[in-house]
Amino acid sequence: MPTAPPVVKPASRRTTWIIVGGIAAVLAVVTAVVWGNGDSYRETVAACRQALEAQTKAGGSGRPDVCEGVKKDDYDALVVGAVLKYGLGQQDKDTLDLYDDGSINGSLG
């Protein structure tokens, strides 16, 4: 007598929901791990600031690779800040600064 193919019993609703819940839990854990390990925008901006200051001190130019994730307006502000802090070099001192001992010493006209 020929044998009949085995009858596959469909999964119960409980089994289906257990599988769906397990997949959702795994996706939630993976998302949390990936999101938690990424740099925040604030950390990216801080790293960009440090790179720009070091580059400006050394006399370099161009956009450092670490600044790729920084918005244009924020990057422009960081560049201006770095240039004002380190890029202008030693400026001539004002005459009043050179002769300031509490009196004007004839330094004004």
Model confidence pLDDT, tens digit, residues 6-57: 777 777 888 889 999 999 999 999 988 888 777 788 888 999 999 988 888 8
User: 3-state class of 83 per DSSP?
Assistant: helix
Is the pLDDT at 101 greater than 60, yes or no?
no
Side-chain-side CA neighbours of 2 within 13 Å: the count stands at: 2
Predicted local distance difference test score (pLDDT) of residue 5? 78
Query: How much is the pLDDT for 98?
Result: 52
Q: What's the pTM?
A: 0.49
Q: What is the dihedral of CA 47, 51, 52, 56, to 10 degrees?
A: 160
